[in-house]
Amino acid sequence: MAETFLLDIAQRVVEKIAHLSMEELGLAFNVESDLRKLKETMSSTKAVLLDAERQQHQNEKLRLCMWKLRDIFYDAEDVVDDFKCEALRKQVVNHPNISFKVRFLASCTLPLSFSFKMGHKIKSINQRLNELATEWNNFNLGQGTDKRHVFHRETHSCVNSSDVIGRDEDKENIIDLLMKPSEDPNIPVIPIVGIGGLGKTTLTQLVYNDDRVTRCFPLKIWICVSDEFDLSRLLKLIIHSINRGEKCDNLTVEALQICLRSLLNDKKFLLVLDDVWNENRARWIELRDILGSMDYLCGSKIIMTTRSLKVAFIMSSIHPYELKGLPFEDCLTLFIKWAFNNEDERQYPNLMRIGKEIVQKCKGVPLAVRTLGSLLFLQTDESYWISIRDSEIWMLEQSENDILPVLKLSYNHLPSHLQRCLALLSLYKKDEIYYSDQVVYLWMANGLLEHPKQKQDWEDVGDQYLNELMSRCLIQMNLDYGDVFTFKMHDLIHDLALEVSQKECKIVNCQTKTIDENVRHLSFCDDKQINVAQVFTKLKNVRTVMVQEVSKESKAIHESLDSPLTALPNSIGALKHLRELDLTNCCNIKKLPSSFYKLRRLQSLRMRGVPLMQLP
């Protein structure tokens, strides 16, 4: 489902209004009170947006209202940026070392005209917010802090080992770690880490039910932690796992640990903490110390599963076991198991040929294989199989336990600013090698980074964001060059980014029929010609334009379907909110259009490999 990114947009606009200087405010007459009203309205709206995000999936009217708010907030941000841009223009005009031509181009705005337009725009935005206020207030939304929660999940220890394919080696590796003596003064924790759908829980179930593990650990306890890492709750779950009849719901933590101590009675135990999201080290240490006090020289162990390397390092001194995807042959075997019934695949060689291509799309993730296999179960229509093969995974209908909803939990757990940053990565092609500096500049140009703290640069903030995404297994390091590194994104995470950003970002190719007029970020990627001039004319709110390298023959954008483009179309001047323009390796572009000076909000221009012969 497309996301509005309202919380982050509101946060950025409120900050920008607060940081407007007296000089910038003085560019328009009598706007201070209207801007103050705008800031107050947006601040009060922002306070309840977390509750709105939680409720929108069950309330279509609320969701539609949030989309209206998004457009108003974006317009408010554009107005604030107009003030900053006008202040910069005045600096250029008054600078003694600026050439006459540059000064002439920069002086094309009349001060009185600007003042009138800004005053009118701010009043219009306030009026639109007032008109929406009655509808918004009817939702009775409550305030909350930006603390992300995933939906509570339930897992269990049971598994049919014959249904599990390709995890024998991983199982043996984890069992070896369990049997290995430890000198750690605390109970050793074995972390299993990977993206959602890789099979961390299934692997742990295999280990948990192995006869060798049962013999080694007389007491086994399985707890699904999920998003609520509360000491009292976890102690109760552990107690109930050992003895379901134990009545402990109303006990204090002190009484709970006494009860647990009597149940453990110095027994050697294996505790599984499945699906852990907690990043609060103090909460983990509370539980660890209680459990450690009950394991004096007993050799107990803990296995925990998580999607976050950060969580793994908080809970364990043992290097995380990073689960990898299944090999293709194992994925194909799993696919056959879910897509066919009783070896029916032998009767449908054509379907098997298509099925192999479908399995390739899953990139080794078992849950993705199961999801697509289940969609095809008992379906023998070849055209249906082809439609599944040719469809993006994020566009297919899925149930709660299928791959995209499971991956969406990782997105839901991100802070709002990282959600928006992840979404912008959907502009790149699948299997792309991302360069950290280019991604950070893209985020910077679009104002997605928080203000740097003392002794920090903007690039440092961007690198922190990338490291956070990496620690959550949403991107993976490729090569480290010191100041710059490259990284990759799993195709399924890319599908997730495409899903959440579908009304914010758009990849344009020759098959693109319509583009929402409120789309903010465009990426052109196709082997065929695209009528870019027409696209630019229709979309006035675009902030990012990227032209992706496909081939030397098709890299150049075409103004019409018949004539090649040797320069950007003049219509690009209509994109007055454009901040990022990436023309890397557009080898047919020789000059920039005369309207280029109108792109006054442009923050980043990439033209590596462009044989520019003439400036406007």
Q: What percent of the chain has pLDDT over 70?
A: 90
pLDDT reported for residue 453? 87
pLDDT value of position 530: 62
Per-residue pLDDT, averaged over 547-569, amounts to 52
pLDDT, residue 591, reads 85
How confident is the model over 360-382, as pLDDT tens digits?
999 999 999 999 999 999 899 99
Strand-pair category, 269-276 with 219-226: parallel
pLDDT at 518: 86
Got the DSSP string for 43-103? HHHHTTHHHHHHHGGG-HHHHHHHHHHHHHHHHHHHHHHHHHHHHHHHHHHH-TTS-HHHH
Residue that the structure tokens 């496909």 belong to = 550
Q: Hey, what domains does the chain have and what are their CATH numbers? A: 6-137 (1.20.5), 161-322 (3.40.50.300), 328-404 (no CATH), 414-498 (1.10.10.10)
pLDDT at 588: 79
For range 212-240, the mean pLDDT: 94
- Enter the DSSP assignment of 383: H
The answer, yes or no, to whether residue 101 has pLDDT greater than 70, is no
Asked whether residue 564 carries a pLDDT value surpassing 80, the answer given is no
Does position 456 have pLDDT exceeding 70, yes or no?
A: yes
Confidence (pLDDT) at 533: 67
CA 453 to chain centre: 24
pLDDT of 598 over the 90 cut:
no
- So what's the pLDDT on residue 190? 97
Identify the band that residue 517 occupies on the pLDDT scale cut at 50, 70 and 90: confident
Length of the chain: 616
**Pairing state of beta strands 476-480 and 485-488?**
antiparallel
Among left, alpha and beta (phi > 0; psi -120 to 50; other), residue 609 is left
23 C-beta neighbours (distance < 10 Å), count:
11
Average pLDDT over residues 127-151: 79
pLDDT on residue 275: 96
- For residue 398, pLDDT over 90 is answered with no
Residue 545 dihedral angles phi and psi, to the nearest 5°: -130, 120
Query: CA separation (Å) from 329 to 228, 360, 382?
Result: 38, 10, 22
pLDDT band at 553 (very low <50, low <70, confident <90, very high): very low
pLDDT band at residue 562 under the 50/70/90 scheme? very low
Spatial distance between the Cα atoms of 542 and 508, rounded to a whole number of angstroms: 13
Query: Taking a C-beta distance cutoff of 8 angstroms, is the pair 248, 278 a contact?
Result: no
More confident residue, 389 or 30: 389
Residue of 262, 271, 261, 327 lying closest to 294 (CA atoms): 261
Residue 565 has pLDDT above 70, yes or no: no
Q: With beta carbons less than 8 A apart as the criterion, state whether 305 and 198 touch.
A: no
Assigned token pair, 90: 């005045």
Q: Does residue 29 have a pLDDT over 90?
A: no
Residues 563-589, mean pLDDT to the nearest whole number: 80
- Please state, as a whole number, how many other Cβ atoms lie within 10 Å of the Cβ of residue 268: 15
Confidence band (pLDDT; 50, 70, 90) for 557?
A: very low
**In this predicted structure, which of 32-36, 409-413, 560-564 has the lowest mean pLDDT?**
560-564
Report the 10 Å Cβ neighbour count for 489: 23
DSSP 189-213: EEEEE--TTS-HHHHHHHHHT-HHH
Give the helix/strand (H/E) hosting 478. strand 476-480
pLDDT of amino acid 278? 94
The alpha carbon of 417 is separated from its chain's Cα centroid by a whole number of angstroms, namely: 10
Please state, rounded to an integer, the average pLDDT across all residues of the chain: 87
- Section 460-465 average pLDDT: 96
Cβ-based neighbours of 159, under 8 Å, separated by 6 or more:
202, 205, 206, 208, 209
Give the mean pLDDT of 248-259.
94
The tokens describing 64, both together, are 């539609």
How many angstroms separate the CA atoms of 97 and 497, rounded?
A: 46
Cα–Cα distance between 15 and 437 in angstroms, integer? 25
Give the pair of three-digit tokens for residue 471: 């620690």
Q: Is the pLDDT confidence value at 558 over 50?
A: no
Q: How many other C-beta atoms lie within 10 A of the C-beta of residue 433?
A: 11
Highest mean pLDDT: which range of 38-42, 185-189, 484-488, 536-540: 484-488
Judge contact between 613 and 590, C-beta under 8 A: yes
Question: Beta-carbon neighbour count of residue 151 at 10 Å?
Answer: 12
With a cut of 50, say whether residue 188 has pLDDT above it. yes
More confident residue, 526 or 511: 511
Of the candidate ranges 84-93, 121-130, 554-563, 596-605, the one whose mean pLDDT is the lowest: 554-563
More confident: 42 or 563: 42
pLDDT(563) > 60: no
